[in-house]
Amino acid sequence: MLSSLQLNGLSPFGQATGTEVVVGLTLIPVSWILYKFLFYPLYLSPLSKIPGPPVSAIPFTGNFWDIFSSEAGYHQLNWSYKFPRMYVYHGLFNIPRVLLTDPDLIREVLVTNAYDYIKPPNVIKFLGKIVGEGLLIAEGSAHKHQRKHIQPSFNPSVLRSFVPSFFLHSAELVNLWKVDLIGEDKAEVNILDGCSRATLDIIGTAGFGYAFHAIEDDEDAEGEESPTLHWAYKTLLGPRSMLEQLLLTFLPFFRNLPLKRNFAHQKGLNVIRDTSRELVEKAKESRAAQETTEVDDGVLGPKDLLTVLVEQNDKGGLTDEELVGQVMTFLVAGHETTSVTLTWSLYQLALDPDIQDKLRAEITPLFSKIDFNSPDFPNVPNLPTYEEMNALPYLNNFCKEILRLIPPVPSTTRVPAKDVVLNGYFIPKGTPMFFSPVVTHRHTHFWGDDVMDFRPERWDEAPAKDISPYTYFREYLEHSMSSQQRLIPSPAFLAGPRQCIGNRFALMELKVLLCTVLYAYKFHEKPGYVVRKAQGVTWRPKPGMRLIIERAQ
Ligand code: HEM
């Protein structure tokens, strides 16, 4: 008897043997893991009642590998045909994510009850280091307060005065690429790099009355030794290997290891924060001295965004730390998205020479009058005005179409700040919820069967002609939305009180940059160069964007 009990691993006195302890210690965590990462998310959670795609056969990986191994939004779009309105898919460890595709549901979350849905803490943690404690990550009453004080910086009268500086840096971009053409008919250029430098210079001038000279810098030669702002963003936002992305997502302490990559990352963050502090100090000194804000190029620096913000700071609207946060926010939000949009616009033009010719033909009467070589440029007669740039119909259609088909921010996310019921389903507080312009902008239900074709003309036809992707929120406030307007569920600039505050700025900047380089150059594909869209906050081209340019004039 004794020996058989011992053989079975049980003690004759009812005490656990070593084997029992080991089994017990193993069973408890294994059961917890199975419950937490398998049974609960897939079968027991209230979210398991929401339909969605089946998870992968590889345990605990949800739909992760499908998503990770394809272009952003590819599977999410396919699933949205099968599971209309909203569905649940699963990330690594079967973490559930709700994706909303129905216009009414999206409006409920982004517009009607916007402040009940906040940005996820992990996103805030990641973004906060790059964008600071600014508008992009503020929540609730802090967000309302900041937005109220920042809004005046984006009034149309302020934006109108930025147009010359948009032209100045666009012409510098033309000159940057001209160097590659010396003695050649055609040249290969690094489009993304140039666009990124130009938009950084624009936000420097228009945003802070400061010339970053990103287009002129050759910091690549010096790299980390004398880091510039452009180097910092290239380091922080540039492509990452799949391994690095995985490590950062699931083992965040990876960032703290003493690796070269991590030192460069930290240096990049320091450069951004130090530059932002300097800009605030300088703006406050100028304000104190009641100086005019003139940048060192002699370009009229009207009231740049920061000057307007410092005025708000004087009135007690924003603290010094909030000002630094806003500068960090504008620096990144104001240059990365427009640069990516401009890059894809030029790529699209290279793919379709007819569209390119048509757009160039539309702008030529206006642009041929500009004296780009004048020493007074951009303060020259005949420089197109804000209104003239907005009155070019094909250009307007082109911009709408590029933002539809290749929205630079492919998706964004929120979590409910409290338990909510949406579409009849209970959604617990803290559940990650996604809105994806890639899905809603590419869905045949909203746009018709030719949804994947790049056709600027579609904006003169139904259903697209009756909707404005830029003004969804304004139209929602000012008029009750018509059924057609409701067709745009998630425009590239988002909707609601957190809609992109820089949308008009960005559109004018995009138009001036695009038209100036298009007037100067013809763009062609580089044979054999395959480009994809990288997974990230913005839809950057991977491995980059190289095109062939040729003089157009
Ligand atoms: C094509 C260009 C741009 C696109 C597609 C774009 C898109 C967006 C989107 C989708 C959001 C909302 C993000 C979210 O809440 O999840 C956003 C917010 C924001 N954007 Fe833009 N953006 C662009 C250009 C700009 C520019 C040029 C500026 C500044 C000069 C800017 C400043 C901001 C700021 C400050 C916010 C935060 C607004 C808030 O939370 O109240 N953006 N943008």
Band of the pLDDT at 240, cuts 50, 70, 90?
confident
Rg value, the chain, Cα: 26
Q: How far is the CA of 166 from the centre of ligand 1 (A)?
A: 18
33: helix, coil or strand? helix
pLDDT band at 99 (very low <50, low <70, confident <90, very high): very high
Question: What is the CA(499)–ligand 1 centre distance, in A?
Answer: 7
Residue 526 banded pLDDT, cuts 50, 70, 90? very high
Q: How far is the centre of ligand 1, averaged over its atoms, from the C-alpha of 427 (Å)? A: 27
- The confidence score (pLDDT) of residue 24 equals 76
C-alpha to C-alpha distances, 382 to 166, 335, 375, 379, 409, nearest whole angstrom: 15, 27, 15, 9, 35
- Ligand 1 centre from 168 Cα, in Å? 23
pLDDT at 484: 42
Atom of ligand 1 nearest to the CA of 138: 40
Domain of residue 428: give its range: 102-479+495-551
Contacts with 346 (C-beta within 8 Å, 6 or more apart), sequence order: 191, 195, 514, 517, 523, 545, 547
Among 144, 500, 503, 509, which is best to mutate for testing ligand 1, by the most ligand atoms less than 8 A from CB? 500
- Atom index in ligand 1 nearest the CA of residue 150 equals 35
Q: Which tokens hold the place of 486?
A: 């409701």
Interface predicted TM-score (ipTM): 0.99
* Residue 20 in domain: no
Closest Cα to atom 37 of ligand 1? 136
Would residue 292 count as lying in a domain?
A: yes
Provide the pLDDT for residue 46.
Answer: 96
Atom of ligand 1 nearest to the CA of 413: 16
The tokens for 489 are 């569920």
In a domain, 82, yes or no: no
Give per-residue burial for 255-277: e unless 16+ CB within 10 Å, then b: beeeeeeeebbebbbebbbebbb
Q: For the chain, give me the number of helices (H) and strands (E)?
A: 24, 12
Q: Which atom from ligand 1 is nearest to the alpha carbon of 340? A: 1
**Per-residue pLDDT tens over the stretch 108-139:** 898 889 999 999 998 888 788 888 888 999 99
Rounded distance from Cα 506 to ligand 1 centre (Å): 9
Instruction: Calculate how far, in angstroms, residue 526's C-alpha sits from the geometric centre of ligand 1.
Output: 31
The stretch 443-472 carries a mean pLDDT of: 78
pLDDT band of 47, cuts 50, 70, 90: very high
For residue 225, is pLDDT > 70? Answer: no
Q: What is the pLDDT of residues 137-164, one digit of tens each?
A: 999 999 998 888 888 888 888 889 999 9
- DSSP 8-state code for residue 285: H
CA of 502 to the centre of ligand 1 (A): 6
pLDDT digits (tens, 9 = 90+) for 343-402: 999 999 999 999 999 999 999 999 999 999 999 999 999 999 999 999 999 999 999 899
- Confidence (pLDDT) at 247: 74
Do the domain assignments include residue 6?
no
| Closest Cα to atom 22 of ligand 1 | 500
Phi, psi (rounded to 5 degrees) for 421: -115, 125
Query: Hey, what are 399's tokens?
Result: 């911009």
pLDDT at 13 over 80: no
Take atom 15 of ligand 1 and give the residue whose Cα is closest.
Answer: 498
> Rounded CA gap, 324 and 207, in Å?
13
Alpha helices (H) along 35-98 = 64-68, 74-82
Question: How far, in Å, is the centroid of ligand 1 from the Cα of 509?
Answer: 14
Task: Enumerate residues lining ligand 1, CB below 6 A.
Answer: 135-136, 147, 329-330, 333-334, 337-338, 341, 408-409, 412, 492-494, 498, 500-502, 505-506
255 within some domain: yes
Nearest atom (ligand 1) to Cα of 437: 10
> Which ligand 1 atom sits closest to the C-alpha of 134?
35
Check the annotation: does 515 bind a ligand: no
pLDDT digits (tens, 9 = 90+) for 63-85: 998 988 888 889 999 999 999 88
Q: Looking at residue 474, what is its pLDDT?
A: 35
pLDDT in tens, 284-315: 887 776 654 444 433 334 567 888 788 777 77
Mean pLDDT of 176-205: 93
Residue whose CA lies nearest to ligand 1 atom number 18: 500
Percent composition of the chain: helix, strand, coil (DSSP 3-state, to 5): 55, 10, 35
pTM: 0.88
Give the CATH number of the domain where residue 125 resides: 1.10.630.10
Q: Round to whole Å and give the CA distance between 464 and 462.
A: 5
Is 533:72 a contact under the CB 8 Å cutoff? Answer: yes
Question: From atom 29 of ligand 1, which residue's Cα is the shortest distance away?
Answer: 334
47 in any annotated domain:
no
Which mutation among 276, 337, 508 tests ligand 1's pocket best, with the greatest number of atoms within 8 A of CB?
A: 337
Where do runs of H (alpha helix) occur along 289-319? 305-314
Instruction: Select the more confidently predicted residue: 221 or 159.
Output: 159
**207 alpha carbon to ligand 1 midpoint, in Å?**
14
CA distances from 409 to 22, 43, 335, 340 (A): 50, 33, 13, 9
Total domains in the chain come to 1
pLDDT for 391-446, tens place per residue?
999 999 999 899 989 999 988 899 999 999 999 999 999 999 998 888 888 888 88
Q: Which residue has the higher pLDDT, 126 or 514?
A: 514
Say whether 17 sits in a helix, a strand or coil.
Answer: coil
User: Which residue minimizes the CA distance to atom 7 of ligand 1?
Assistant: 493
> Which of the four pLDDT bands, split at 50, 70 and 90, describes residue 54?
very high
Q: Is 62 contained in some domain?
A: no
Is 128 among the domain residues?
A: yes
Write down the mean pLDDT value for the chain.
85
